[in-house]
A and B are shown apart, each in its own frame.
Chain A
Amino acid sequence: MPEVPRTGVIHDLGYRPYDGPRNGSGAIAWALFLSGFRNAFGLGRSGKSKVLPFLLLGLNLLPAVIVVGAMTLFGLDELPIDYSRYASSTQILLSIFVAAQAPVLFSRDLRHGTISLYLARPLSSAAYAVARWAALLAATLVFLLVPIIALYVGAVLSELDFWEQTEGAAKAILLAVLLALGLTGIGGLIASVSVRRGFAVVATIAVLLLGNGVVTAVQGIAEVQGEPRIGEVAGLFSPYSLYRGGMAALTDNVALTPPTGAAMTAAYFGVMVLVAAVGFVGILVRYRRIAGR
């Protein structure tokens, strides 16, 4: 251990108090949100931690770039992939992104005990939780929206019908926001109850992808067996099947056992909001408990 200079130069410089401006809670929460958002992509962290998020981001954007390239090259008169279909086809990348980056925002502070330093500062536990949640939501939205915007810009530049494209993109953005809210709630809640990063990653992937696999299987069987109602109900149990149901209700895209009837369609959107709300409230409650420990 290096010796501490207790005398000499360092000592003689003396301590200077700080009498400059101090920020209020709003600015502090904003700073926490920004650093969380950057951390979610590995920015402001080690070089190693940038690899996975940017690799996923690149892979996620690749199909959109190819589509836009093909459009300009061959002068297609419609997009080969619909805006809202995009997130559904890259859901594995999306799931890995949320599962891997939610622990960066939630588990790390718990694992290393840094949370007690945050809680000893002006922000309340609720404000901390909201800032973390918002950072994950924003990162997930970037992941979901960048390809949609790329497709949209490509389509408009290729002089496809402007209003048609705008309507399709707007619906896709609405669905993407609902999906991002749900994924953030689920991923954030799991990461905030698990101290170990590995556990959070595995559990989130299991809930998102295995859940989707099971639901898709049930829906497939239900469709073949001529019992679509069972498939519709099963679709309420995974964020991705909810997304597909919502997509089928809003757009011309086809999905397995799409919700039929106004009540079922409303239930799909209702459950999407509910999942997001439960995740959000769960995270708030979790941090309230931690603060009181």
Chain B
Amino acid sequence: MEQVIRTRGLTKDYGSVMALDDLSLDTRPGMSGLVGANGAGKSTLIKVLLGLVPPSSGEATVLGLDVIKDAAAIRARVGYLPEHDCLPPDVSASDFVVHLGMMSGLPRVAARERAAEVLRHVGLAEERYRPMGGYSTGMKQRAKLAQALAHDPRLVLLDEPTNGLDPAARDDMLGLVQRVGQDFGFSVLVTSHLLGELERVSDNVVILDSGRLLRASQTRDFLDATGTLLVEVIGEDAQARMGHALAAAGVPVQARGGLLALDPDPELGVDVHDLIRDTAFDLGVGLVRIQADHRRIEDVFADA
């Protein structure tokens, strides 16, 4: 499959600080997540990929274009949502997106049409004619996303798109990001220092630590079912009674918050689901749910 981002031995040192250290990675079309703590090199990587900062050594290509030789061509095909504020308060989102569309090479008329289109997609309706200084953080993030999509890029680099948003707005934003990748058909690289967010939206995840590649794989691989079952029961002292009964039946049980985590031995010889159902029935406790336990990206990060 075609590679969207490809780096080989990419190194960037700012004097004493090693921002990127011999980084080799590939991302494929689709949604890619880039995870790392603050200072892990995420923003430096994006700057190198945009051709704004030359690498100290190594090479990188974006959409098959070299970051040093074809920087302008890359920037014409890539949309970028920076982490920090970048919106002038006295300009309306509509004017702003039109202008930046033109700065990406769209003729004026096309820029107007595209601005109306992307602002509609990010969910800015009548507000788009108001100065952006009066926008909520969520609306500002939408306007920032709109300018990144204005020129119909092939790849979108989203640097911490959920930064500073409350949980509801964060959810909306992630939904939008997901749509950009799935419905619009762009390749997306989205960074975050919150692993759980990327788990939801990305097909594959790259983890950076101090400028080095910690791990890169498909999100699916991170989240493979572990074989553990989680059981929730209600009733008087239900959890403890259920736990004892299951342990007596030969299934190792641990309490995990309000849930029971079961690690049945595959050799047990009985269907664990049936056993759980029957045990709950015998004890007279309410069985709320049985679910497979998936690993979370956090766990992978903790293992590494």
Contacts and interface: CB of A to CB of B under 8 A. Distances in A.
A137 B163 CA distance: 39
A114 B105 contact: no
Contacts of A14: 183
A46 B121 CA distance: 26
Contacts of B95: 44
A24 interface: yes
Given A31-B102, A49-B90, A122-B72, A15 B183 contact: yes
B151 A18 contact: yes
Interface stretch (A1-9, A60-68, A235-243): A1-9
A4 B176 contact: yes
B15 to A, nearest CB: 13
A2 B172 CA distance: 11
Contacts of B52: 119-120, 291-292
Interface string A6-24: 1000110111111011111
A25 B72 contact: yes
B120 A10 contact: yes
A118 interface: yes
B189 to A, nearest CB: 13
B106 A45 contact: no
A141 interface: no
Given A15-B185, A45-B90, A121 B104 contact: yes
A6 B174 CA distance: 11
Interface in B18-33: none
Chain A facing B: main interface SS: loop
A111 to B, nearest CB: 8
B114 interface: yes
B91 interface: yes
A113 B86 contact: yes
A263 interface: no
Most chain-B Cβ atoms within 10 A of its Cβ — which of A3, A114, A117, A119? A117
B107 interface: yes
B175 interface: yes
A258 B136 CA distance: 59
Interface string B84-105: 1111111100010001101111
A1 B152 contact: no
A16 B110 CA distance: 13
B91 A121 contact: no
Contact of B107 (A13, A21, A45, A46): A21
B: interface residue count bin: 35 or more
Given A18-B106, A122-B75, A112 B87 contact: yes
B78 interface: yes
A123 interface: yes
Interface in B101-136: 102-108, 110, 114, 117, 120-121, 123, 125, 127, 131, 136
A122 B76 contact: yes
Most chain-A Cβ atoms within 10 A of its Cβ — which of B85, B86, B168, B169? B86
Contacts of B75: 120-122
Given A4-B123, A292-B53, A15 B184 contact: yes
A229 B224 CA distance: 86
Contacts of A20: 106-107, 110
Contacts of B80: 116-117, 120
Nearest to A113: B86
Contacts of A122: 72-73, 75-76, 103-105
Contacts of B90: 45-46, 49
B139 interface: yes
A22 B106 contact: yes
A108 interface: yes
Given A11-B183, A16-B117, A28-B103, 17 more contacts: A1-B138, A6-B175, A17-B152, A18-B110, A20-B110, A22-B105, A23-B102, A31-B102, A31-B103, A35-B102, A44-B95, A49-B90, A109-B88, A117-B86, A117-B103, A122-B76, A122-B105
- Across chains A and B, which 3 residue pairs bring their CB atoms closest together, nearest first? A18-B152, A120-B80, A4-B123
